[in-house]
Structure 1
Amino acid sequence: MSTKIKFTKDDEADSMDSSKYQGMIGSLLYLTASRPDIMFSVCLCARFQENPKTTHLEAVKRIFRYIKGTTHLGLWYPKETERETIVYVDSDHAGDYVVRKSTSGVCTFMGCCLTSRFAKKQTALAISTTEAEYVSAGKACQQALWMKKALIDYDIRLDDVLIMCDNKGAIDLSKNPVQDSRTKHIEICHHFLCDNIQKGNISIEKVAFEDNIADIFIKPLKRELFNYLRLGLGMDSDPPSSQ
């Protein structure tokens, strides 16, 4: 999706049949299970199912054209893979142009294999990028702890799970949640991130923004960066063993 597109409910374009639009969105949402690269675009278009406009329909058609041109791509899960688990997290501060809320994006890898991912709008307005990133890191912590517990059933025990974040302010806050006028408004429930870091359940490190794979789930990207992160998801036309 183009980085210049900014959808709003007050679009001056003509309205269209909502049932047709909802059917197209439903089909695309089903497809996101095996095509995580379209998740952001599909979820963005899905926000306007109540009163879709022709501009929204054009964006949906563009997604279908993209899928038609990339049917050779798929997620690969090789038999032999490392057990190291890494969680990538990012947020799009005030990226929703309707309610100005931020979106959290989280994806988990075991070795080179994508095991889980989600993008969810934050419930409260974040007044800074650091706050939005910190709240997202809290969501990533929940995902990391769930992964640790789930792997115990397979007799795999991880010492800690690494969370990769591209915001230095959020990383510093997670390691030392100073309660000053800039941070005391953040809900206490998000500070369990710091608690789990101190307990050694997780660790958090900085990743360059262009290497943060979670970006692909929360914002429109330029073609070169999109293709690079899509490859990072493990989507390719050939299995890793044949490359």
Structure 2
Amino acid sequence: MAQYDPSEVEMLVATANELADAARKQTLAHFRSATLRADSKRGADFDPVTQADRAAEQAMREILAHRRPNDSVVGEEFAATHGSSGVTWVIDPIDGTRAYLSGTPTWGVLIAVSDATGPLLGVIDQPYIGERFVGGFGRAWVEGPMGRADLACRPARPLDQATLFTTFPEIGTPEEEAAFARLKSRVRLTRYGMDCYAYALVAAGQIDLVVEAGLQPYDIHAPIAVIEAAGGVVTNWQGGPAHQGGQVIAAANRDVHAAALELLNG
């Protein structure tokens, strides 16, 4: 990781919070609204995008154009912009658009600051609940209705006591689904849905594992930063870097990570 002086770190954190505030305003303006409409990006294969997705990303991009004009930006809804600073903002205006459309409060706004080494700072924000999970540069905390608290992942415990999350029961390809089934058969509790909020629960010490496949970089950069700052581990299914997306495992500690990897890889 490149070295960033404290004043630069504070500026990055402040800018990330400003982006999250702007996205909160835009997403809450449409959440559970009778006027909410969704288009599908891929026609018959329903991949929804709403006016809230676009409005929230546009609001964040406008702030970055003013505050950080030399940084690159990668988002879900608009083309990437390339800067000269070596810093890239990786943003997902609504992670969990299906949950958003359904009125469930488990979607979130993802904001990450990354460089060539991967994610440095992440924000997982749930506007409706009012919870914001932040992690990076050796610190991790949550702010919300219960105040502010440090984040710390759950200590190691046997796999047969672990709680596992994934977004869809039919995870990935048939081979990936079979690998997930091996892991599911060994843990105590498996739950579905939650989208990015599941990663926040790993950082908060509530659950042990999140396993996904088919992710995009904007789905995982922010969770990586938050979970790693809280003491957890995020890799691909082979134990390598996960910030390019694809197959991802987020674990509360190295012991449960190792046990889960063994099962995922047969």
Same fold (TM over 0.5): no
Name the structure where strand makes up a greater proportion of residues: 2
Higher relative contact order (Cα pairs below 8 Å, separated by 6+ residues): 1
* TM bracket (short chain): under 0.3
Which is greater in Rg? 1
Q: Please state which structure has a larger fraction of its residues in helix.
A: 1
TM-score (norm 2): 0.23
